[in-house]
Structures are given as C-alpha cells and as structure tokens.
Amino acid sequence: MFEFQLEKTDGGARAGTLTLPHGTVRTPAFMPVGTHGAVRGLSMDEVRRTGAQIVLGNTYHLHLRPGEEVVAHLGGLPRFTRWEGPMLTDSGGFQVFSLAELRKITEEGVTFRSPVDGSQRMITPERSMEIQWALGADIAMAFDHVVPGQSDHAHATEGMERTLRWLDRCRARHGALAAEAPDRQTLWPIVQGGVHDDLRLASLRGTLERGPWTGIAIGGLSVGEPKPVMHRVLETLGPALPAGVPRYLMGVGFPEDLLEAIARGVDLFDCVAATRNGRHGSAWTAAGKVNIRRADLRLSDAPLDPDCDCETCRGYPRGYLRHLFVAEEMLGLRLVSIHNVRFLVRLGEEARRRILAGDYDDWSREWLRRYHGKDTA
C-alpha cells in the first residue's frame, strides 16, 4: 500500500505509478476537486469518463455538512460518493487562508465561523486528522497554515514554522488512529514557506526530518505570487525532494501551470479552475481559452476543442453550448466543466506519454506555443 514507483524521468519531468488502497494513479495526474464529495455539477460516472484517477474531497466542508459521522456511517467517502476509487482529502488548511475574515489562528488551532450557519467551529491538527480518518480517503493531508503570496519573510516564517509544529501533532494523532488499520489511509505533509527560497528549503528539511512520507505536498503557491516565482520555488525544491516520493502541487492549476510544474518534477495536481471556469463558461482548448458565451460563436458548428475526445466535444457544437449558457440551462455548465476536467486529465496523460517517450520538453514547448497563439476556430 501507498507505494510510488518512479518509472521514468525526462529532464526534470517524472512518470510514475502511485498505488493506493482504492486503486492506482499513473502520474503526472490531475485530480478534480470534489469539495462536498461531488465534483461540482458532474456525476461520478461523468468524472470517471473524464479519465480522472483520483478525486479530492474537503475536510472542512464535509465536516460542516453532512458531518464526518454521516460519511463514516454510509461507508466512508469513496463508498458514500460512489466514486469507489482513490481519494484524497484536503485538511482544511486552505480555508485558514481563503476564509481569512471568518477565522482566528492560535497555536492550538483555528477557530472558524461557519459560512453555513455562522456557528463557531474549531479545527486543530488533531481534529483534522480525526475528521479525515472518519472520511476515509486514501490520503489525508496535514493541517497547515497557508499565508498569502505576498507575505514577507517574517509572516512566511511564522506560517512555515507553525505548519511544522502542527505536522508533529498531525503525525502523532494520525499514527494513533492508523495503528489498528495501517493500510487504510496515509498522511502527507505540506511544505510551506511562501515565496522565500530559504524558508521553502527549511520547511522541506523540517518535513523530511519528520518522515519518512509516502508523498509530499507543496502548498501555498498560486496564491497571488507571479508565475516566475512559483517556477523558481519549484526549481529550488526539486533537487532537495526525495526522488522516490510523489510530489503534489496543491491548488494548481491552469494548463500552462501543469506543464511548467511537470517539467520541474511535480507528479500530482488539483485545482478548482476546471469546474469553476466551466460553470462560468470559460473553456480551455489546444488553441487557448475560449469564452463560450462569445457572440461570434452563435452559429458555430465546430466542437469546443477539435482535438478533444470528451463527451462534450464529441457531442455538441459551440453554437449549442453558447445557447445553453445564454439561456442559463445548467446542462451548459456541466458540459463545459466535463470538458475542462477532461482537458487537464488528458494533459496529464499526454505528458506522461511524452515523458515515457523521452520528448517531454519539445512537446510541451510546442504545446505552449500553440496554446498561447490566437484561437482561430
């Protein structure tokens, strides 16, 4: 259980296989985000048909409703959702960052006001582990402290050091929970440190000292910092990361971010953009972004992306998709979400093929050139 086999490297890029209790994941791979135990708008059958291998769920949201006890009662997250495959739960750490106005951080943990009913809730590293254990995903994430991308050295240090102290507590609690069922769920730590290379390396060092780990996440990127900074941080961490452990870049990303991060050694991704942008009518295509509501698509009989094999692109022309958005039919939101998820999944699949073939760099350079050109369809 929880094995990672590194099959091939091509420059910095890696292809591997991650074995988990509920199945295997061929990397590089994109994980669709299913915050409430559902990838917004899609059925799990539709998610499966996108080729997704693993789905993310959220501790904080599922704790608020329906409550981890309900999920546990109904068989745990993979069973509850009828996904039945590999899953990962985020720890609630990101909500420390994104719900900044509704929370208070202390060393003990984070006090939140629930956006659901306004009630006060406290999540500690221990609580996060207990909730995630009850949810029953294959991978639990450490409860971390994310700071904004523009945080100065002092603030980034504070978040990074707290994340390490919390990691000790996560590991202790998770270890205790897993004592009787060690093959049920693994815990992955999260490297923090903002945009400061020295802090990133210190965070990684502290994390590795607390190991060994079956996977390591890089958090706190794509939170407002410029892209070159994210690339630099990945390049700083790359050589220091253990080769035999999968690397998960949290919250990333857009197609170009996936390719850039894969080139720098990242194996796993998740991002809400595929589904959120899908609901908002913004689709990724090989020739760049397309706003499906655009007036000039009214009479278009072309598929959203001629290169795509998803059910949306095989089944519906742009003119119809545009109509669905203009008419506010929810089918439109779903179809573009399906496409976007498939688009990122396929990007992972293609990247993997190119890494195994040894021509990742050439391929990704050409891919990006085309993506950043103008959409001509």
Q: Does 219 bind RNA (CB under 7 A)?
A: yes
SS3 state of residue 158: helix
Q: Does 39 bind RNA (CB under 7 A)?
A: yes
| Binds RNA by CB under 7 A, chosen from 20, 237, 271, 310 | 271
Nearer to RNA, 209 or 296 (CB): 296
Residue 267 annotated to the active site: no
Q: Does 273 bind RNA (CB under 7 A)?
A: yes
What's the token pair of residue 78? 């993979």
Bond into 86 cis (ω within 30): no
Q: Does 184 bind RNA (CB under 7 A)?
A: no
What's the token pair of residue 165? 């102290």
CA–CA distance, 269 with 52 (Å, rounded to integer): 11
Catalytic residue among 10, 138, 270, 305: 270
Q: Smallest distance from the beta carbon of 359 to RNA, in angstroms?
A: 25
Q: Does 276 bind RNA (CB under 7 A)?
A: yes
Nearer to RNA, 7 or 161 (CB): 161
Angle between helices 360-372 and 330-357 (to 10 degrees): 150
Residue 90 annotated to the active site: yes
> Judging by DSSP bridges, how do beta strands 268-271 and 29-32 pair with one another?
parallel
Facing residues of 90 across strands? 58
- Checking phi first, is residue 361 left (phi over 0); if not, alpha (psi -120 to 50) or beta? alpha
Tokens 């254990």, residue?
133
Q: Which stretch binds RNA (CB under 7 A): 7-15, 34-42, 176-184, 300-308?
A: 34-42
Bond into 212 cis (ω within 30): yes
Q: Does 117 bind RNA (CB under 7 A)?
A: no
What residues are labeled active site?
Answer: 90, 270
Binding site for RNA (CB under 7 A): 33, 35, 39-40, 56, 58, 61, 90-91, 93-95, 97-99, 101-102, 115, 141, 144, 146, 190, 217, 219-220, 222-223, 227, 250-254, 257, 270-273, 275-277, 279-282, 289, 291, 293-296, 298, 326, 328, 330, 333
